[in-house]
Amino acid sequence: MLVDFGQASLWVSLASITFNPTFWNIAAQREYHTKWITKLCGNDPQRGCYAIAVTIFVLGLIRDMLFNHALAQQPQMALLDTHFVKLVAACLVGSGMTLVLSSTYMLGITGTFLGDYFGILMDARVTGFPFNVLDNPMYVGSTLSFIGVSLWHARPAGLLVAAYVWLVYHIALQFEGPFTSMIYAKRNAEPTVAKRKKKL
């Protein structure tokens, strides 16, 4: 047996992976329309953005903890339990963390954690590494880390979970991408509207 689907911890881990992007997409879009987080934070959008950043970070830690717990209860595969596979795993985790950390560095806290939904917009599109290599380096990096950890522990179930992580991220991008584009398109259209009003 490569994957023990009878382990409740596996399903709890998958539920956590599903919940996180679902939560931050719903919460952020509601914030954009109603400013509910900003209001809870004393009408300070910066403070509101930091609040959701902490929330997302903690949820990520819980997700990783649940994933590691689930992995420990899954069968190992002897074919994956080799020094070569461990080397590949270490490279994948290292690459994944590089993508995630460099993305955060380039975007900053508010750029990384949904600041645009709070009205904290970036002046221009970030084009430096890793955004000159990948469109969504944080999601790619996170998925690579899941794959790497799974290979390190020689657990095929982890590879299945990693594939699910990428699927969930792919679905999340179908909501995040268009919504973020709408926010910036609206911002970019405002000067044009203002100029037209002046002419009138």
**Tokens linked to 179:** 């919504």
Contact by Cβ (8 Å): 77, 154: yes
Return the residue matching tokens 């020689």.
Answer: 154
Q: Is the pTM above the cut of 0.95?
A: no
Helix ranges restricted to H, 35-136 = 36-40, 45-72, 83-112
Return the residue matching tokens 């709408």.
Answer: 182
3-state SS class at 65: helix
- Other Cβ atoms within 10 Å of 21 Cβ, number: 20
pLDDT digits (tens, 9 = 90+) for 33-88: 999 999 999 999 999 999 999 999 999 999 999 999 999 999 999 999 999 999 99
